[in-house]
Amino acid sequence: MAYRAEPPDGGWGWMVVLSAFFQSALVFGVLRSFGVFFVEFVAAFEEPAARVSWIASIGIAVQQFGSPVGSALSTKFGPRPVVMTGGILAALGMLIASFATSLTHLYLSIGLLSGSGWALTFTPTLACLSRYFSRRRSLATGLALTGVGLSSFAFAPLFQWLLNHYAWRGALLLVSALSLHLVACGALLRPLSLAEDPVVGGPRAQITSLLRHGPFLRYTIALTLINTGYFIPYVHLVAHLRDLGWDPLPAAFLLSVAAISDLVGRVASGWLGDAVPGPVARLLMLWTTLTGVILALYPVAEAPTGLVALTVAYGFTSGALTPVAFSVLPELVGTGKIYCGLGLVQMVESIGGLLGAPLSGYFRDVTGNYTASFVVAGTFLLAGSGVLITLPHFFCFSAPTSKPQDHVTEALDTKVPLPEEGLGED
């Protein structure tokens, strides 16, 4: 088996970017657009909205908390079989859901089964992409994650059209067929052997090492704080605008405007992340700080012009921080540990995502408006920025940016033949 000393930074890596683009669309595009089924489920099962909303919540929770499982399996067996299996599970969950006769069936099929499939697809695919790129990593990640925004535009009207023509059971059958394309996405993830892989050990050794790695732990804390305030506008901005007297349609349309600037921000930040010298963490801190300031300014702006400007700015900066957030991790832990590292980060930062919206709603109930909600959300992002400046080499402009400090494979040639025996063992 031949090992590369460096990621190829192109070649088949662009097929991995294509796979990640469609995979992010088929996972988070479906999740973001699944609200069109909400009214149908409420009417079909005659259940309160609170109980129906648990379907998507369970799916998101399983996807995020199950990320370390997908990462560990990918470390052991490679990303291709893991992601292909995840695609089958995601499609199977939607297929079984089309025969549901109660909400419990939907909890188990969409929430648990499809959620497990999503857990086996997203993190391994993004980790595989990080292994294929070094100098162009941020740009590649930004291009891949544009699939989330583009599919959010396409899937909501598509799902509504399917509901109108085939009812919810037929629509779920077709969403199942759509989800089966995740198998094809997984097939594109050609295994890549890097020289540092035998050094970092198996999943158990990697997880133990990461839990003792101070910069990794600080970075995980930073992303958890950022995630706590990140989604507040997507959950409560429309309600805030309604409190200010906006009509429902213009308020909802403003979120679409934010989604457009989000797409632009992802691509622009991905390009900047590769073009600007120095650690990518500095660029992440910049976007995070700007996003936090913008959120804190929402209560000040009451004129439509100011609110539109803030929302466009929020869409750009919040989209811009996403690709560089994924690019910082390989710099801290190395590409050899990226599967387990990304899985652990996804699991822990999901706590912030789950707490952010309820906490914002609590402040709204206590104060009667969203002033405190947006200020607290901005404070969480600024706190995350403060943690980011503690990362290694943050203030050192001459520091290496593509590998962590303890890499032991820098002197290796481009391809080094090593024996295959025992490489996958812990």
Q: What is the pLDDT of residue 187?
A: 94
Which segment of 45-54, 152-161, 263-272, 338-347 scores lowest on mean pLDDT? 45-54
Candidate ranges 25-34, 99-108, 393-402; pick with highest mean pLDDT: 99-108
Residue 322 is inside which H or E element, if any? helix 304-333
CA 384, chain centre distance (Å) = 17
Contact, 338 vs 131, CB < 8 A?
yes
3-class DSSP state of 231? coil
Residue 3 is inside which H or E element, if any? strand 2-4
- The tokens describing 25, both together, are 């669309």
Q: What is the pLDDT of residue 2?
A: 54
DSSP class of 196: T
Q: What is the pLDDT of residue 416?
A: 40
More confident residue, 237 or 21: 21
Check pLDDT > 50 for residue 96. yes
Q: What percent of the chain has pLDDT over 70?
A: 88
CATH code: domain 2-195 is 1.20.1250.20
pLDDT digits (tens, 9 = 90+) for 63-85: 888 888 888 898 888 899 999 99
Q: What is the pLDDT of residue 421?
A: 41
DSSP class of 409: -
Domain segments of the chain as ranges: 2-195, 201-388
Residue 45: closest CA among 114, 132, 118, 105 = 105
Q: What is the pLDDT of residue 3?
A: 58
Check pLDDT > 90 for residue 91. yes
CA distance 10 to 45: 50
Check pLDDT > 70 for residue 337. yes
Identity (one letter) of the amino acid at 305?
A: T
Place of tokens 């544009």: 146
pLDDT band at 327 (very low <50, low <70, confident <90, very high): confident
Check pLDDT > 80 for residue 238. no
pLDDT band at 197 (very low <50, low <70, confident <90, very high): low
Contact, 363 vs 240, CB < 8 A?
no
Q: What percent of the chain has pLDDT over 90?
A: 30
Does the 201-388 domain belong in CATH 3.40.50.300?
no
What is the mean pLDDT of the segment spanning 332-342? 81
Q: Mean pLDDT score of the chain, rounded to an integer?
A: 82
Task: Note whether 2-195 and 201-388 share their fold.
Answer: yes
What is the mean pLDDT of the segment spanning 408-426? 40
pLDDT digits (tens, 9 = 90+) for 107-140: 999 989 999 999 999 889 988 888 888 888 888 8
pLDDT digits (tens, 9 = 90+) for 137-178: 888 888 988 888 788 778 878 888 998 999 999 999 999 999
Check pLDDT > 70 for residue 420. no
Q: What is the pLDDT of residue 411?
A: 36
pLDDT digits (tens, 9 = 90+) for 268-324: 888 888 887 778 889 999 999 999 999 999 988 888 899 999 999 998 999 899 888
